[in-house]
Amino acid sequence: MERLQKVLAHAGIASRRHCEELIMQGKVQVNGQVVRELGTKVDPTKDKILVEGRPIRTEQHVYLMLNKPTGVITSVSDPRGRRVVTDLLKGLKERVYPVGRLDYNTSGLLLLTNNGELANKLAHPSYEIDKVYRAWVKGVPTADKLGMLARGIMLEDGMTSPGEARLLKRDQGRALLEITIHEGRNRQVRRMCEAIGHPVLELERVRLGFLTLEGLATGQFRPLTSEEVSRLKQGLVQNRKRRAR
Query: Bridge-partner residues for 50, per DSSP?
Result: 29, 55
The residues annotated as belonging to the active site are 103
Give the whole-angstrom CA distance, residue 49 versus residue 234. 31
Whether the CB-CB separation of 31 and 12 falls below 8 Å is answered with: no
**Helices 226-244 and 116-123: crossing angle, nearest 10°?**
50
Q: Is 123 exposed, middle or buried (0-12, 13-18, 19+ CB in 10 A)?
A: middle
The DSSP H or E segment spanning 201 is strand 200-208
Query: Bridge-partner residues for 165, per DSSP?
Result: 179
Give the whole-angstrom CA distance, residue 175 versus residue 32. 62
